[in-house]
Amino acid sequence: MKHPEPTQTPTEPTTARPLSGAEIIVRVFADEGVDVIFGYSGGAILPTYDAIFVHNRDNPDRPMPLIVPANEQGAGFMAAGYARASGKVGVCVVTSGPGATNTVTPVRDSLADSVPMVVICGQVPTAAIGTDAFQEAPVAALMGSVAKHVFLVTDPTLLEATIRTAFEIARTGRPGPVVVDVPKDVQNWQGSYAGKGTLPIPGYRKRLAVVNENELSADSARRFLDLLAAAERPLIYAGGGVVNAGAAAALTAFATAFNIPVVTTLMGIGAIDTMSPLSMRMLGMHGAAFANYAVEDCDFLIALGARFDDRVAAVPSRFAPRAKSIAHFDIDVSEINKVKRVDFHHVGPLATALETIVREGRGRAALPDYASWNAHCAELRSRHAMDYDRASPLIQPYYVIEEINRHTKGRAIIATGVGQHQMWAAQYFDFGGPRQWLTSGSMGTMGFGLPAAIGAQFAHPDTLVIDIDGDASIRMNLGELETVTTYDLPVKVVVLNNFGDGMVKQWQKLFFKGRLSASDKSLHKKDFIRAAQADGFRFAKRLEHKADVPRIVEEFVNFEGPAFLEVFIDPEACVYPMVGPGQSYDEMITGDHIVGRSEPGAVKPPDSSEMF
């Protein structure tokens, strides 16, 4: 599995003077190719902040801008958005105590979605740890269960090697967030700078080497091809691991070589061009009906970098019920047979495995012909297409996204909060490639969209970045509107306003007899336009009339600079299709405007053990 490498030339190992621990941290950042840092200051991290200032003053040709958000959670999500959009390690630097605890959610979110990030937390001086000192928090204990790894640096001579190792762990294998807790006295310590060296972590490196060196053999490729040859209706099920592995091109080549349709998870969106004739879009709880029906109909399921999670395979025994064989490719051995038993698996670099299969396949006398299966999938796409009430006088959220998509044409980076708007964006936007879709998948963290969009804009300054958000979700990190204008970022923000927690209300209507307990919160008084204007947005408009949608959307997308658009959508608009909790795809609810295979039965309420 290949990962982005540091882009800068390592600093010369010899220095004219001893460096402080803070300066060493910044030197390692430079060696690792860090080009932007997100963080919020405070007493315990001031030495490092000062070192960043001095570095930027003295190195105008390779600066590391320090981007200051409204709070540390925003900084963490900005670093995550940068990492998701670029494939590089995102960097977040915060102070001790509440600064560190405010990053717990972004760290957990990044672990759940396999996002590479390094978080540097200031800490009280070593001698004060454990005394309940001012702004002290047990970072190692708090982060230990939500990060890929945590370091507490108490020996300053190991600081440089520790920071380098943090980057190594974050970017290698299954990527994830690494937290380094650095006491203030360690930041102020003076010592030499080696310019190289990492910590001895033999167990991790050995496990990593075993996986990275496990190339798919020709014999294994032939066994896979035998399964493929025996199939009449193969289907690729691609997850976020395809994107993380940099294997999107290899997936497209593999699918094209054998003419195999592809469904993707929420995190796998963009692994194949959604406009490709082989793309069957997103599967799962709110996946396209035709994608889920393809899963129902396939006889050979090929899982690539996917983990059969509950949003896809809520009832594992009934998932892909007609599949005679299942193959699973992943970088993490713990995912194999964890949820669904498989007939073939490979744990190793994904891109090279797919390339090997394609190469071996070309050596065969004849490749399988899946023309009839592809014709069947095309019929599924046509008959069970996404649709909604196009005649409604109210503004439908799907219509708004379709209009934006008409301008972006699959080239924009789309970030989202969490809720109905997230699913509508996943369903109705086109994506030409990977790392254009940024969303909180496993954790489902409201407030993710706006700061993630900011991070993505720093990763791709010349790309159109749009945050599709909801009125409830954007409130979680509304303060980051000012961050957008402070740094004059051309981020576009859309708030689909249905006055409350739309997804929660949808579930309450379906499963709790319409009792809207706390889901509308009576939050109807927020004037988002005035809030955006107060934060410096020169373009801040509200859409209330359907006839105005095309004109205002065009103005919004084409505006040069930050733009904010609030849309009063139909408050009764729901996300369909929907596979209820504890149900399988044959019980999918398609709503009034998407054609299902059969008349929907009674909505089955979840039992007490089933998740939201």
pLDDT digits (tens, 9 = 90+) for 539-579: 999 999 999 999 999 999 999 999 999 999 999 999 999 99
Tally of domains within the chain: 3
Domain boundaries, position 251: 216-380
Whether 292 and 264 map to the same domain: the answer is yes
Residue 176 lies in a domain: yes
Whether 446 and 471 map to the same domain: the answer is yes
What is the distance between the alpha carbons of residues 149 and 174, in angstroms, rounded to a whole number?
Answer: 12
Residues 106/80, Cβ–Cβ less than 8 Å: yes
Whether 444 and 541 map to the same domain: the answer is yes
Residue 184 lies in a domain: yes
What is the distance between the alpha carbons of residues 532 and 370, in angstroms, rounded to a whole number?
Answer: 52
Residue 586 lies in a domain: no
Q: What are phi and psi of 304, to 5 degrees?
A: -120, 110
What is the distance between the alpha carbons of residues 446 and 136, in angstroms, rounded to a whole number?
Answer: 27
Q: List, in order, residues 6 or more apart from 605 with CB less than 8 Å away.
A: 511, 512
The dihedral built from the CA positions of residue 273, 278, 280 and 283, taken in this order, carries a sign that is: negative
> 159, 188, 211 — which closes off a domain?
211
pLDDT tens digits along 153-199: 999 999 999 999 999 999 999 999 999 999 999 999 999 999 999 99
pLDDT tens digits along 517-546: 777 765 578 899 999 999 999 999 999 999
The pLDDT value recorded for residue 565 is 98
Rounded mean pLDDT of the chain? 93
Which two tokens mark 466?
């749009």
Order of strands, sheet of 437-438, starting from the edge strand that comes earlier in the sequence:
437-438, 413-416, 465-470, 492-497, 563-568, 539-543
What is the distance between the alpha carbons of residues 305 and 335, in angstroms, rounded to a whole number?
Answer: 9
Residue 147 has pLDDT above 80, yes or no: yes
Residue 578 lies in a domain: no
CATH number of the domain encompassing residue 370: 3.40.50.1220
CA dist 108 to 8, 76, 318, 444, Å?
Answer: 29, 10, 30, 11
Residue 143 lies in a domain: yes
pLDDT tens digits along 323-378: 999 999 999 999 999 999 999 999 999 999 999 999 999 988 788 899 999 999 99
Whether 55 and 101 map to the same domain: the answer is yes
* Dihedral angle computed from the Cα positions of residues 330, 333, 339 and 345, in that order, rounded to the nearest 10 degrees: 60
% of the chain with per-residue pLDDT over 70: 94
Distance of CA 227 to the CA centre of its chain: 32
The pLDDT value recorded for residue 513 is 78
Residue 597 lies in a domain: no
Mean pLDDT of the 500-519 span: 79
Which two tokens mark 509?
């209507």
pLDDT band at 205 (very low <50, low <70, confident <90, very high): very high
The pLDDT value recorded for residue 496 is 98
pLDDT tens digits along 55-79: 999 999 999 999 999 999 999 999 9
Q: List, in order, residues 6 or more apart from 421 with CB less than 8 Å away.
A: 397, 468, 469, 470, 473, 496, 502
Residue 9 has pLDDT above 50, yes or no: no
Whether 371 and 449 map to the same domain: the answer is no
Residue type at position 164: R
CA distance from start to end of the chain:
34
Whether 54 and 76 map to the same domain: the answer is yes
pLDDT tens digits along 378-436: 999 999 999 999 999 999 999 999 999 999 999 999 999 999 999 999 999 999 999 99
| Closest of 514, 448, 480 to residue 77, by C-alpha | 448
CATH number of the domain encompassing residue 122: 3.40.50.970
Whether 201 and 246 map to the same domain: the answer is no
What is the distance between the alpha carbons of residues 234 and 374, in angstroms, rounded to a whole number?
Answer: 10
Q: List, in order, residues 6 or more apart from 9 with CB less than 8 Å away.
A: none
Which two tokens mark 87?
């494939």
Residue 14 has pLDDT above 60, yes or no: no
Which two tokens mark 570?
């139909």
Residues assigned a catalytic role: 72, 134-135, 184, 503
Residues 27/49, Cβ–Cβ less than 8 Å: no
* Dihedral angle computed from the Cα positions of residues 254, 259, 261 and 262, in that order, rounded to the nearest 10 degrees: 10
Mean pLDDT of the 29-45 span: 97
Residue 180 lies in a domain: yes
The pLDDT value recorded for residue 6 is 44
Residues 41/66, Cβ–Cβ less than 8 Å: no
Whether 302 and 352 map to the same domain: the answer is yes
**Three-class DSSP labels, 440-479:** CCCCCCCCCHHHHHHHHHHHCCCCCEEEEEEHHHHHCCCC
> 211, 234, 260 — which closes off a domain?
211
Residue 185 lies in a domain: yes
| Closest of 194, 128, 127 to residue 164, by C-alpha | 194
Whether 25 and 125 map to the same domain: the answer is yes
What is the distance between the alpha carbons of residues 83 and 89, in angstroms, rounded to a whole number?
Answer: 5
Whether 521 and 553 map to the same domain: the answer is yes
Residues 533/563, Cβ–Cβ less than 8 Å: no
pLDDT tens digits along 437-471: 999 999 999 999 999 999 999 999 999 999 999 99
Whether 201 and 226 map to the same domain: the answer is no
CA dist 56 to 51, 59, 121, 571, Å?
Answer: 9, 5, 20, 49
Q: List, in order, residues 6 or more apart from 378 with CB less than 8 Å away.
A: 277
> 190, 211, 232 — which closes off a domain?
211
Number of residues written out for the chain: 612
% of the chain with per-residue pLDDT over 90: 88
Whether 337 and 431 map to the same domain: the answer is no
